[in-house]
Amino acid sequence: MIKVGVIGYGYWGPNVARNFYSCQGVKLTAISDVSEKRLALAKSHYPFIQDFKNAADLVRSKDVDVVAVVTPVFTHFGVARDALNQGKHVFVEKPFTSTKAQAEELIDLAAKKGLKIMVDHTFLFTGAVRKIKQIIDSGELGRLLFFDSVRVNLGLFQHDINVIWDLAPHDLSIMDYVIPDRPVAVSAHGSVHFEGNLEDVAYVCTEFENHGFIAHFHVNWLSPVKIRRMLISGDKKMLVWDDLSPDDKIKIYDRGVEFTSTNGQLKNGIEELLVSYRSGDMYAPKIDNTEALRAEVDYFVRCLEKNEEPFNDGRAGLQVVRLLEAADQSVKNNGRRIKL
Amino acid sequence: MIKVGVIGYGYWGPNVARNFYSCQGVKLTAISDVSEKRLALAKSHYPFIQDFKNAADLVRSKDVDVVAVVTPVFTHFGVARDALNQGKHVFVEKPFTSTKAQAEELIDLAAKKGLKIMVDHTFLFTGAVRKIKQIIDSGELGRLLFFDSVRVNLGLFQHDINVIWDLAPHDLSIMDYVIPDRPVAVSAHGSVHFEGNLEDVAYVCTEFENHGFIAHFHVNWLSPVKIRRMLISGDKKMLVWDDLSPDDKIKIYDRGVEFTSTNGQLKNGIEELLVSYRSGDMYAPKIDNTEALRAEVDYFVRCLEKNEEPFNDGRAGLQVVRLLEAADQSVKNNGRRIKL
Amino acid sequence: MIKVGVIGYGYWGPNVARNFYSCQGVKLTAISDVSEKRLALAKSHYPFIQDFKNAADLVRSKDVDVVAVVTPVFTHFGVARDALNQGKHVFVEKPFTSTKAQAEELIDLAAKKGLKIMVDHTFLFTGAVRKIKQIIDSGELGRLLFFDSVRVNLGLFQHDINVIWDLAPHDLSIMDYVIPDRPVAVSAHGSVHFEGNLEDVAYVCTEFENHGFIAHFHVNWLSPVKIRRMLISGDKKMLVWDDLSPDDKIKIYDRGVEFTSTNGQLKNGIEELLVSYRSGDMYAPKIDNTEALRAEVDYFVRCLEKNEEPFNDGRAGLQVVRLLEAADQSVKNNGRRIKL
Amino acid sequence: MIKVGVIGYGYWGPNVARNFYSCQGVKLTAISDVSEKRLALAKSHYPFIQDFKNAADLVRSKDVDVVAVVTPVFTHFGVARDALNQGKHVFVEKPFTSTKAQAEELIDLAAKKGLKIMVDHTFLFTGAVRKIKQIIDSGELGRLLFFDSVRVNLGLFQHDINVIWDLAPHDLSIMDYVIPDRPVAVSAHGSVHFEGNLEDVAYVCTEFENHGFIAHFHVNWLSPVKIRRMLISGDKKMLVWDDLSPDDKIKIYDRGVEFTSTNGQLKNGIEELLVSYRSGDMYAPKIDNTEALRAEVDYFVRCLEKNEEPFNDGRAGLQVVRLLEAADQSVKNNGRRIKL
Looking from the CA of B235 toward its CB, the CA atoms found within 13 Å total 13
- D92/A212 Cα distance (integer angstroms): 57
Residue C9 predicted with pLDDT over 90: yes
pLDDT, average across residues C146-150: 98
Q: What is the predicted pLDDT for the residue at A47? A: 84
Closest-CA residue of B relative to A251 is: B224
Could you give the CA distance from residue C106 to residue B216 in angstroms, rounded to a whole number?
65
C42-45's contacts with Cβ under 8 Å and 24+ in sequence apart are: C42/C9, C42/C13, C42/C14, C42/C17, C45/C14, C45/C17, C45/C18
Residue type at position D95: P
Task: Name the average pLDDT for chain A.
Answer: 92
The single-letter code of the amino acid at B331 is V
Confidence (pLDDT) at C155: 77
Quote the pLDDT of residue D257. 76
State the SS3 of C84-115.
Answer: HHCCCEEEEECCCCCCHHHHHHHHHHHHHHCC
Pairwise pLDDT comparison (A108 vs A48), residue with the higher score: A108
The pLDDT of residue A279 is 81
| B279 to chain C, closest Cα gap in Å | 7
- Which residues of B fall within a CB distance of 8 Å from A201? 145-146, 214
pLDDT bracket for residue A247 (50, 70, 90): confident
SS3 at position D340: coil
In chain D, residues with a C-beta closer than 8 Å to the C-beta of C275 are: 157
Q: Is D335 left (phi over 0), alpha (psi -120 to 50) or beta?
A: left
Taking the CA of residue A209 and the nearest CA in chain B, the distance in Å comes to: 12
Are B154 and A225 inside 8 Å of each other by CB? no
What is the reported pLDDT for A261? 55
**Residue B246 to residue D244, Cβ atoms within 8 A:** yes
- The pLDDT value recorded for residue D280 is 87
The vertex-C83 CA angle with C81 and C85, nearest 5°, equals 70
Q: What's the residue count for chain B?
A: 340
Residue in D110, D324, D300 with CA at minimum distance from that of residue D204:
D324
Residue D169 one-letter amino acid: P
Q: What is the pLDDT of residue C268?
A: 43
Rg (CA), chain C: 22
Between CA C71 and CA C61 the distance in angstroms is: 18
Interface touch B225/D247, C-beta < 8 Å: yes
Interface probe for A, chosen from B214, B253, B263, B282 (most Cβ of A below 10 Å), is: B214
Q: Scanning every residue of chain B, which has its alpha carbon at the shortest distance from the alpha carbon of A266?
A: B196
Q: Subunits touching A (CB < 8 Å, at least 3 pairs)?
A: B, C, D
Over range D96-118, report the average pLDDT: 98
Dihedral sign for Cα D255, D256, D260, D261, please: positive
Provide the number of CB pairs (under 8 Å) joining chain A to chain B. Answer: 154
Q: CB under 8 Å to C52, separation ≥6 — which residues?
A: C30, C31, C32, C39, C58, C61
Minimum Cα–Cα distance from B253: chain C residue = C284
Interface of B with C (CB under 8 A): 247-248, 251, 254, 279-286
State how far the alpha carbon of C245 is from the alpha carbons of B79, B267, C130, in Å. Answer: 52, 43, 17
DSSP A229-249: EEEEEESS-EEEEETT-SS--
8 A C-beta contact, residue C225 and residue C255: no
**What are chain C's partners, defined as 3 or more CB pairs within 8 angstroms?**
A, B, D
Cβ within 8 Å, pair C225-A247: yes
Minimum-distance CB partner of D286 among A279, A284, A286: A279
Judged against a pLDDT cut of 60, whether residue D47 lies above it is answered with: yes
Start-end of CATH 3.30.360.10 domains in chain B: 124-289+322-339
**What number of C-beta contacts closer than 8 Å exist between A and C?**
8
- Residues A26, A5 contacting (CB under 8 angstroms): no
CB distance A283–D279 less than 8 Å? no
Identify the bridge partners of residue D31 per DSSP, sorted by sequence position.
Answer: D6, D51
The pLDDT of C297-308, averaged and rounded, is 97
For the stretch D137-189, pLDDT in tens is: 999 999 999 999 999 998 767 778 999 999 999 999 999 999 999 999 999 99
pLDDT of residue D256: 79
Do the Cβ atoms of A244 and C246 come within 8 Å? yes
Q: Is the pLDDT of residue A246 over 70?
A: yes
Q: Give me the pLDDT at residue D283, please.
A: 95
* Residue range D50-100, pLDDT digits in tens: 999 999 999 999 999 999 999 999 999 999 999 999 999 999 999 999 999
Determine the Cα–Cα distance for residues D69 and D92; give it in Å rounded to an integer.
5
CA distance from start to end of chain C: 42
Task: State residue A40's pLDDT score.
Answer: 93
Residue C211, pLDDT score = 67
For position D255, what pLDDT does the model report?
Answer: 86
Report CB contact under 8 Å: D212, C218.
no
Name every residue in D having a CB less than 8 A away from some CB of B.
225-226, 244, 246-247
Task: Specify the CATH architecture of the domain B124-289+322-339.
Answer: 2-Layer Sandwich (3.30)
CB-nearest to C273 from D146, D159, D216 is D159
> Are the beta carbons of D286 and A283 separated by less than 8 Å?
no
User: Which residues of A are less than 8 Å from D134 in CB distance?
Assistant: none
* Nearest CB neighbour to B145, from listed A193, A225, A238: A193
Chains near D, with 3+ CB pairs < 8 A? A, B, C
Question: CB-CB: which of A225, A246, A247 is closest to C247?
Answer: A225
**Partners of C7 in the β-ladder:** C32, C69
Q: Which of D249, D252, D283, D289 to mutate to test the interface with A (most CBs of A within 10 A)?
A: D283
CB atoms D285 and A285 under 8 Å? no
Q: Pick from C22, C153, C243, C247 the residue to mutate for testing the A interface (most A CBs within 10 Å).
A: C247
The beta-carbon neighbor of B335 closest among A201, A223, A337 is A337
Would you list which residues of chain D are within 8 Å, Cβ to Cβ, of chain A? Answer: 247-248, 251, 254, 279-286
Residue D208 has pLDDT above 70, yes or no: yes
* A255 contacts in chain B (CB < 8 Å): 154, 224
- Residue intervals of chain B classified under CATH 3.40.50.720 are 2-115
- Concatenated DSSP letters of B88-126: -EEEEESS--SSHHHHHHHHHHHHHHT--EEEE-GGGGS
Partner-chain contact A283 D285, CB within 8 Å: no
pLDDT band at A260 (very low <50, low <70, confident <90, very high): low
Chain C closest-CA separation from residue A48 CA (Å): 14
Q: With beta carbons under 8 A apart, name residues in chain C contacting D152.
A: 231
Q: What is the pLDDT of residue B159?
A: 74
- CA dist D179 and D300 (Å) reads 23
Cis check: omega of the bond before B14, within 30 degrees of 0? no
Per-residue confidence of chain B (340 residues) as pLDDT tens digits? 999 999 999 989 999 999 999 899 999 999 999 999 999 999 888 888 999 999 999 999 999 999 999 999 999 999 999 999 999 999 999 999 999 999 999 999 999 999 999 999 999 999 999 999 999 999 999 999 999 999 999 876 777 899 999 999 999 999 999 999 999 999 999 999 987 789 999 999 999 987 689 999 999 999 999 999 999 999 999 999 999 998 889 999 998 777 665 554 444 444 445 566 778 899 999 999 889 999 999 999 999 999 999 999 999 999 999 999 999 999 999 999 999 9
Indicate if the pLDDT at residue D221 is higher than 60.
Answer: yes
Against chain B, the chains showing at least 3 CB pairs within 8 Å are: A, C, D
Alpha-helical segments (H) within chain D: 13-21, 36-45, 55-59, 73-85, 100-113, 127-137, 163-178, 292-306, 314-332
Helix axes B314-332, B163-178, angle to 10 degrees: 130
- Per residue in C163-197, pLDDT (tens digit) is 999 999 999 999 999 999 999 999 999 999 987 78
Which pLDDT score is estimated for A194?
Answer: 84
Eight-state DSSP code of residue D200: S
Chain B residues contacting D via beta carbons under 8 Å: 225-226, 244, 246-247
Of 3.40.50.720, 1.10.3720.10, 3.40.50.300, 3.20.20.70, the CATH number of D2-115 is 3.40.50.720
Closest CA to D176 of D119, D222, D224: D119
Inter-axis angle of helices D292-306 and D13-21, nearest 10:
60
Residue at B119: amino acid letter:
V
* Shortest Cα–Cα distance, A237 to chain D (Å): 14
- Beta-carbon contacts of B268 under 8 Å, excluding residues fewer than 6 positions away, are none
pLDDT of A258 > 90? The answer is no
What is the separation, in whole angstroms, between the first and last Cα of chain B? Answer: 42
Please indicate whether, in this complex, the C-beta atoms of C335 and D335 are within 8 angstroms of each other. yes
Q: How confident is the model at residue C256 (pLDDT cuts 50, 70, 90)?
A: confident
* Alpha carbon distance, N-terminus to C-terminus of chain A: 42
Residue C160: predicted pLDDT: 86
Is D309 a residue whose pLDDT tops 70?
yes
pLDDT digits (tens, 9 = 90+) for C192-244: 998 778 999 999 999 998 768 999 999 999 999 999 999 999 999 999 999 99
Between residues A140 and C270, the one the model is more confident about = A140
Q: Do A281 and D283 touch (CB under 8 A)?
A: yes
Q: Give the integer Cα–Cα distance in Å for C251 and C242.
A: 8
Q: What is the pLDDT of residues D241-261, one digit of tens each?
A: 999 998 889 999 998 777 665
- Helix axis angle for D314-332 and D100-113, nearest 10°, is 170
CA distance D83 to D54: 13
Of the candidates A231, A223, A27, the one whose C-alpha atom is nearest the C-alpha of residue A149 is: A231
Which residue in chain C is spatially nearest to B285 when comparing CA positions? C281
ipTM of this complex prediction, to 2 decimal places? 0.93
